[in-house]
Amino acid sequence: MRYAYYPGCSLSSSGIEFHLSFQYVARSLGIELVEVKDWVCCGASSAHATSHLLSIALPVLNLSHAEKEGFDKLIAPCLACLSRFKGANIEMKNDPHLRKKIHEIFDYPYQGKVKVYHPLEVFLELGLDRIRARARKRLKGLRVACYYGCVLTRPPQIAQFDDVENPQSMDSIIQALGGETIDWSYKTECCGVSMTLTFSDIVLKLSNDILREAKEGGASAIIVCCPLCQANLDGRQRQIEETYQVRYGLPILYITQVMGLSFGAYPKEVGLEKLITSPKEVLGPIGLM
């Protein structure tokens, strides 16, 4: 299986371990990733807050690069990119007026042939049996909270994946690998990332709610699938502990890191040393690290 791969800005800097671990997991599952040539930023929340046309044009620019190279499937691991791409595809299909405008801007008329996926969608399409068969170590003794972030499943008409309020895709992968997941109500709450550089007090409150709920639910780690959630929950954890006078010490792991460890990767291959809250205390006793 060959996919165009759009890493996005975060995966080349603050989310580098998601990039490393996803590459590892893709290799072991036989997914071939080809990076989109000359990709540029998708505009994220700044483009759609500034100009609707721009927020469609930037994803289309990247999608047309993939289409020109003959791909019909594209993987975007960052949820901000993913949601912009899926939204652009749908609006291009349904709005002839907008399509005409976009075609005026670009020299190459994008046909809308590239379907956009999150790594989780690709994993589930492959099937849990295939993932289970690849596992060398069981995640026995690992009890985690799966946090999906805001736009993986929302809004359902754009995301078209998993249950919108109570998603199960990551839970089912962790369970297939022998781990335990908790039921909790903050799976799709927002961590506030678009305010992270401006009004960080909002981010601290929202992220604190997520960490508190996970801890109270009895999780020893949080599993995420988006580099922005990870940067907030992990990078700001010390600030949150100071502001709210609590102690969490919850490592925030990417789903691909846990899968990689189960598939037999060395900690360095999945970038465990890049995490700010060290997972050693959690993964060490169960022999994963």
Partner 1 sequence: MNIAVSKETFNLATHIQSTTGENVMFCYQCKKCTLGCPSAYRMRMKPHELMRAIQLGREEEIYWSGTIWICLSCETCNTRCPQGINILRVIDRLRERSKEVKYYNPYPAIPAFHRLFLALVERFGRIYELGLAVLVNLRMLSPFKDIDMAYPMFIRGKMKPWPHRSQGVKELQQVMERIRRLEE
161 binds partner 1 (CB under 8 A): no
- Asked if 3 interacts with partner 1 (CB under 8 A), we say no
Total interface residues for partner 1 by CB under 8 A: 60
48 binds partner 1 (CB under 8 A): yes
Find the shortest distance in angstroms from Cβ 220 to partner 1. Answer: 21
- Which residue stretches of 69-199 are H helix? 79-94, 96-105, 119-126, 128-134, 156-159, 169-176
> Applying CB under 8 A, which of residues 4, 20, 43, 250 lies at the interface with partner 1?
43
Classify residue 282 by its DSSP letter: H
Q: Which residue, chain included where needed, has tokens 């990870």?
A: 230
Q: State which of positions 185-214 bind partner 1 (CB under 8 A).
A: 189-190, 192-195, 197-200, 202, 205-206
How far apart are CB 13 and partner 1 at their closest, in Å? 5
Tokens 């949820």 -> residue = 79
Quote the least distance from Cβ 201 to partner 1, whole Å: 8
If one asks whether residue 236 binds partner 1 (CB under 8 A), the answer comes out as yes
Token code pair at residue 45: 């929340």
Q: Does 53 bind partner 1 (CB under 8 A)?
A: yes
Q: Give the DSSP per-residue string, 43-75.
A: -HHHHHHH-HHHHHHHHHHHHHHHHHTT-SEEE
Among 239, 267, 269, 289, binds partner 1 (CB under 8 A): 239
Taking the complex as a whole, the smallest distance from the CB of residue 150 to partner 1 amounts, in Å, to 4
Q: Which amino acid is at 207?
A: S
> 279: which residues sit within 8 A by CB, 6+ positions away?
221, 251, 253, 272, 289
> Starting at the edge strand that comes first in sequence, how are the strands of the sheet with 252-254 ordered?
180-181, 143-146, 221-224, 252-254
**Spatial distance between the Cα atoms of 132 and 189, rounded to a whole number of angstroms:** 29
The closest alpha carbon to 162, from 125, 112, 207, 213, belongs to 125
Interacting residue with partner 1 among 51, 111, 160, 185 (CB under 8 A): 51
Tokens representing 195 are 């305010």
Question: Does 49 engage in binding with partner 1 (CB under 8 A)?
Answer: yes
For the segment 265-284, give every residue that binds partner 1 (CB under 8 A). Answer: 273-274, 276
| Residues at the contact surface with partner 1, assessed by CB under 8 A | 9-10, 12-16, 37-41, 43-55, 57-58, 61, 65, 83, 101, 104-106, 150-151, 154-156, 164, 189-190, 192-195, 197-200, 202, 205-206, 235-236, 238-239, 273-274, 276
